[in-house]
Chains A and B, each alone.
Chain A
Amino acid sequence: MNVTQDLSILHLILEASAVVQAVMVLLAVVSLMSWYYIFMKWFAVRQARAKTEGFERDFWSGGDLNTLFQGATAARHNSGSMERIFAAGFREFTKLRGQKNLDAKDVIDGSRRAMRATFQREMDTLEAHLAFLASVGSVSPYVGLFGTVWGIMHAFRGLANVGQATLATVAPGIAEALVATAIGLFAAIPAVLAYNRFSHDIDRLATRYESFMEEFSNILQRQMR
């Protein structure tokens, strides 16, 4: 019996059984997608943080609320989440204040509800695809493990036909199978790291938006008098 002596990665991948190859292809696609989303989220979170900081600076520097609102509505396509929350709350506030028969408490509640709705929508956009990263991180090692187990089963079944079992007859099959686990881990580790990092960043942004909403409600309440 002649065992293949070439153990380069390409050879290992090409020689693997069909199931193992399918697992490898699946994991490669998943890895590509997860890296794509990692970079997308990275850019998105960085941009959101920069815009939030910019708006907070503008807001607390004591500018007029009306000019701020006009600036926010004019740059609607390019505004950050906090700016949108502010714009939604302020728009509702100006609309409700025009009506004579409304209580001050109702005006504040209305604008707060508008801000809450915008906040939820913004959080939804920011958190998009994070679930994908989480499932890649948790599932792809198992998929890789499945490929490995299948490959090792294959290797041992082939071994049964050989009279004398040496390490040289088993090693290529096992190496081949382990490539699947390696690819699974390559896909999973960055995905888990990125998921933890981004969910932490987004949580911090959410806290910032919420405290801004409270503070802005206070400011609006002072304006009512």
Chain B
Amino acid sequence: MVEEKRPEPGKKSALLLTVLVHGALIAALFLGVQWKRSQTEALEVELWSPPVAVTPPPPPVVKPKPEPPKVEPEAPKKPDIVVKEEPKPKKPEPVEKKPPPPPPISFKEQLAREERQAQARLDAQIEAEQRATASQRALANDQISYAGKIRGKIRGNIVLPPGIAGNPEAMFAVTQLPTGEVLAVSLKRSSGNAALDAAIERAILKSSPLPKPDNPAVFYRELEIKYWPFEE
């Protein structure tokens, strides 16, 4: 007896459900597993600092821009109030038409003039600030590249002791000659590992003469060098 083949039930719905299950699984994986490390970028931002404190450049550039809109909304409000005050004296005392109009006009003019002056002052201020921040930013960039050069040279000369736990930071004060020769190195803040401190000090001395900056304006006789044993 030959049995004819019966169609198996629910092929299409099985396929659909399979796709659904896997879709759900993949969605759960993508939404659930978002391991990202965000700290790493901040590690290399400031490796050393010069004695002269430099204000961080980005914030001043951003701040002046929102200010003008703050001034402008106030200006249209004041004339509105003046116009509203006008009709009130007109209705009860029609005889005294002449005195009320002049004060609003002069007030308006005065207001406009003052506004213009304020705006001009503000513009000049913003321009000056922008010029200042641009030069500050260039200076900061030069300092960062100078720091990078020094750090690179030290890194090339260092011999790390074994058994360093984590990535401790050590701070050294370095006095150099204008030629870059290191006169004195003193430990300002220990990394907590005496062997590591000694190794960094040796590396700094070995790095003499230190590299010169591209921009002579960022050269200082006294340097404070912060150093991490590992580059992330």
- Which residues of A line the B interface, CB within 8 A? 5-10, 31-32, 35-37, 39-40, 42-44, 47, 77, 88, 117, 121, 125, 164, 166, 168, 175, 186
Contact assessment for A8 and B36 in the assembled complex, using a CB-CB cutoff below 8 Å: yes
Bound: A125/B6 CA distance, A: 10
Q: List 8 A-B contacts (CB under 8 A).
A: A7-B33, A8-B36, A9-B29, A9-B30, A35-B22, A36-B15, A39-B17, A175-B35
Bound: A186/B24 CA distance, A: 12
Which of these, B14, B29, B30, B34, contacts A36 with CB under 8 Å? B14
Q: Does B80 contact A (CB under 8 A)?
A: no
Min CB distance, B133 to chain A, in Å?
31
Contact assessment for B30 and A8 in the assembled complex, using a CB-CB cutoff below 8 Å: yes
Min CB distance, B54 to chain A, in Å?
28
Which residues of chain A have C-beta atoms less than 8 A from B232's C-beta? 168
Bound: A4/B192 CA distance, A: 30
Contact assessment for A88 and B18 in the assembled complex, using a CB-CB cutoff below 8 Å: no
Contact assessment for A40 and B10 in the assembled complex, using a CB-CB cutoff below 8 Å: yes
Bound: A166/B228 CA distance, A: 15
Contact assessment for B37 and A5 in the assembled complex, using a CB-CB cutoff below 8 Å: yes
Nearest neighbor of B5 in chain A, beta-carbon distance: A125
Which residues of chain A have C-beta atoms less than 8 A from B8's C-beta? 40, 44
Contact assessment for B35 and A40 in the assembled complex, using a CB-CB cutoff below 8 Å: no
- Which residues of B line the A interface, CB within 8 A? 1, 3-4, 6, 8-11, 13-15, 17-18, 21-22, 25, 29-30, 33-37, 40, 160, 230, 232
Majority-rule SS of B interface residues: mixed
Contact assessment for A39 and B14 in the assembled complex, using a CB-CB cutoff below 8 Å: yes
Which residues of chain A have C-beta atoms less than 8 A from B10's C-beta? 39-40, 43-44
Nearest neighbor of A79 in chain B, beta-carbon distance: B6
Contact assessment for B40 and A40 in the assembled complex, using a CB-CB cutoff below 8 Å: no
Bound: A121/B4 CA distance, A: 12
Question: Do A39 and B40 form a contact, CB below 8 Å, given A8-B34, A9-B30?
Answer: no
Contact assessment for B230 and A166 in the assembled complex, using a CB-CB cutoff below 8 Å: yes
Contact assessment for B6 and A32 in the assembled complex, using a CB-CB cutoff below 8 Å: no
Supplied contacts A9-B29, A10-B30, A43-B9, 11 more A-B pairs, CB within 8 Å = A7-B37, A9-B30, A35-B17, A35-B18, A36-B14, A36-B15, A39-B17, A40-B14, A44-B9, A44-B10, A164-B230
